[in-house]
Amino acid sequence: MNRTRVEGLVLLLMIGANSLQAGEHEPPADEPPSLELLEFLGGFETPEGEWFDPLLLVEQSQIQADTKVTGDD
């Protein structure tokens, strides 16, 4: 085998071993989410009970910041 094939094989083996180790640290499926997480997620619900994308808030604040900087109204 040439050197690049050996290096590629070693890299694949390292990635595979790392992904196997990463799976060992997952919490049990029967563990309920924390109250902090539930409160955080509940913050993205309108008073009518509809969910919205939190990235919309970031986009809106960026648009407002750009408007202030450029002076566009």
- What the block records as the tokens of 61 is 């604040």
| pLDDT-above-90 percentage for the chain | 3
Note the pLDDT of residue 1. 58
The string of DSSP letters for 37-65 reads HHHHHHTTB-TTS-B--THHHHHHHHHHH
- Alpha-carbon gap, residue 33 to 27, rounded angstroms: 10
**SS3 helix, strand, coil % of the chain, rounded to 5?**
60, 5, 35
**pTM of the full predicted structure?**
0.32
